[in-house]
Amino acid sequence: MSNILDNLNSEQRLPAEQKNGAILVTAGAGSGKTRMLTHRIAHLVFDENVPTYNILAITFTNKAANEMKERLERMLGDVSAMWICTFHAMCSRILRREAENIGYTSNFSIYTDVEKDRTIKRILENKNTNINADTIGWHISNAKNHLMDPEEYSQYIPDPKKRDVITKCFQEYEATLKHCNALDFDDLLNKTYELFRTKPDVLTYYQDKFKYIHVDEFQDTNKAQYELIRLLSEKYGNVFVVGDEDQCIYSWRGADVTNVNSFTKDFKDVKIFKLEQNYRSTKKILEIANKLIKRNQNRLDKLLWTENGEGTKVETHTTYNETEEAEYVAETVKNLVSYYGYKYSDFAVLMRVNSLSRMIEEKFITYGVPYKVYGGFKFFERKEIKDVIAYLRLIHNPHDDEATRRMLAFPKRGIGDVAVANLAMVAEETDKSMYDCIVEGLLEDRQAKKFEPVKDLLIDLKQKCDTMPLYDFVEYVINKVDFKGAIGDKTDEDQNKQMNIDDFLLSVKEYEDANEGATLEDYLQSITLMRDVDNLDQEEDFASIITVHAAKGLEFKVVFIIGLNDGLFPLSRAVNSDDPNELEEERRLMYVAITRAKERLYLTRARTRFSFETKRSEYTLPSRFLKECGEDEENQNSKAVRSNYDGEFVPRRFSEENDNLFNTASRANISKPATSVSQIKKNNVDFSAFKKGTKVRHPHFGEGVVTVEVTDFSAGFVTIKFDSVGMKTLSLKYANLEIID
């Protein structure tokens, strides 16, 4: 017996050394479940002689999968035969191999939410209804997550008019996807389940392959995922699941917290273990987390504890408005970095809704805090990137009509909506793809001439795809289509788009370097299944602005949870709902946010917030979660401050008992924004030196060139185009810029 399990504590070791049977581990936040999982797998291979190809490990994110793979490689060496992936990646891999068994070809496209939405909107054009695409899309996804076809799902829509529209749209959507040889994200699960149910020999093959199954974040599985695990483990019964019902936060996309309870009923002789020791957070942070979550009724009883120190007091702060809230966050980050040795990557600002990020971004720019936003607009969803990807998708899967439409739209070729509509009609009449109609010249003579250059381009790209390495081909496509020329370079935005094209090429190069023999299919699949947070690299010195949902599974030394007002967190929908489960899910979400923090936790709210309904600032109530944590206003160390008479923010200071965070030195550096030339000189910042074209260096963004010089000396903002991160608008007071000769 090796010493692989010796580094686990007694709670972790007990489940890890179980070889066979169904095992459920309820693991609290920060309890070392990933460590326990990897050691368990290593133990199976090294001590129990289980071949690596007989092991399946399903994780919640690609990032988690990569981290687990790296850990196992350090422990075992080559683990390439082991499947370590997300549910969607597993299903995609299976379907690529087995597609013909369900009436598809292996080069099927995977539609993102963007393509799904565009397809539904096109279907709705012919419907006389006020039901929008988002609603239709939600119903389609809900049906698929519950393994229902359009007819089955229609029974659960009480309104006859809505039922008819939703069912017809669902049917047309499915027909469109089939015609385009495309699947959406939900289909990856749904079709794999269909494959296993209809092809017993295929199911048997994968049952024999995956004799030992592991599932992380089991509480976030939906019905389709649960059933897939049940089918795969049916033959051997060796399934090891780790979950925490207190962290179930995805019910809106089908996650079912009751799956944890169902597991004990559906699997034979289930062994149950608890992990309650927390290795991440301080005692003070865990204290409020436990206070909060114990109010939920639908949970297994457990209490997180730690041998870590007491830590600093959890800080709760109320500001007058959202501007001051953001200023407080930026100010605190700056001072912790300056005087307490923190890096920017140690910080995360968590929010319930994405819209709260704008003000934080503005203040981070003002204070010179480098940051990245996650859970928002993703790189691969930018228009210019989606345009490039459309060409690649089409060459890979000529049946993808959605990609054809996008390809025809950019760059402009004199092919208008009427011509595209005629092309679509011919495709429907001939039961061919739009691509085939172009290449085969099935349009009438006058129309055919318009498409002749496109025909030549597609034939050329298809030929090159079959003969060129991945990076060379993608570079060829970009140059052949002349994306940069079509974008132009007249504005800063144009230049940013061109730089994004370069970044895209770099991502292809990095993928090819990391994956020997990588194909276009491999790359398209990798970026389609990628989540925004999969790119979060805490080795880079950027603060993270991130939604709580996107922060799941991550940890940071310092966490700010902002917008703690009833109606924002928890959402008004949950506050006003008759269903107690909605508020319980919001409470679990708050629990997840709290338990991301390792050393310091700040809870903030604004007394007033601007309302877009009334077009004015409205007074708000504090989040009920503050009181449930024991952090209501009576226990706060600081009070709300109003703006002074001329509307400028007067920064709040910490008191002596608040850790002396702001000492005399820091107060001198974080002062009111300069309002006169004399104040500017006093702060030793010569704004006039930063002329347009001046080369500068930033401590985090690197070198850049001033594109918009200072014109308003009361603000002192300057716009710089950096080589590494593109355009940034910074405050000269806080940016610490160096002029390069």
Examine the residue annotation and report whether 579 is marked as an active-site residue of this protein: no
Rounded to 5 degrees, φ, ψ at 356 are: -75, -10
11, 12, 33, 484: the catalytic one is 33
Contact call for residues 690 and 709 (beta carbons, < 8 A): yes
| Strands of the sheet with 315-319, listed across from one edge | 315-319, 597-606, 556-561, 347-351, 543-547, 371-374
Question: Among 40, 48, 42, which Cα is nearest to 1's?
Answer: 48
Q: Look-up: residue for tokens 């988002």?
A: 134
38, 112, 247, 318: the catalytic one is 247
Examine the residue annotation and report whether 264 is marked as an active-site residue of this protein: no
Contact call for residues 327 and 363 (beta carbons, < 8 A): yes
Could you give the residue ranges of the DSSP H alpha helices within 377-482?
Answer: 383-396, 401-409, 417-430, 434-439, 445-465, 470-481
Distance (Å, whole) CA 51 – CA 209: 10
User: Can you spell out the DSSP letters for 412-436?
Assistant: --S--HHHHHHHHHHHHHHT--HHH
CA atoms within 13 A on the CB side of 647: 0
13, 18, 19, 34: the catalytic one is 34
Work out the number of other CB atoms within 10 angstroms of the CB of residue 618: 11
Question: Among 440, 480, 478, which Cα is nearest to 460's?
Answer: 480
280, 596, 600, 733: the catalytic one is 596
Distance (Å, whole) CA 15 – CA 242: 10
Examine the residue annotation and report whether 217 is marked as an active-site residue of this protein: yes
The two structure tokens encoding residue 304 = 């997180």
**What are the angstrom distances between the C-alpha of 39 and each of 11, 23, 86, 688?**
13, 15, 19, 60
Contact call for residues 489 and 499 (beta carbons, < 8 A): no
> What is the torsion angle, in degrees rounded to the nearest 10, for the CA atoms of residue 125, residue 131, residue 134 and residue 139?
-110
Examine the residue annotation and report whether 34 is marked as an active-site residue of this protein: yes
Distance (Å, whole) CA 227 – CA 279: 33
* Cα-trace Rg, the chain: 28
Distance (Å, whole) CA 554 – CA 166: 38
Examine the residue annotation and report whether 216 is marked as an active-site residue of this protein: yes
Q: Give me the amino acid identity at 425.
A: M
Question: Among 730, 724, 727, 728, which Cα is nearest to 710's?
Answer: 730
98, 172, 187, 216: the catalytic one is 216
11, 115, 184, 217: the catalytic one is 217
Which residues does the annotation mark as catalytic?
33-34, 216-217, 247, 596
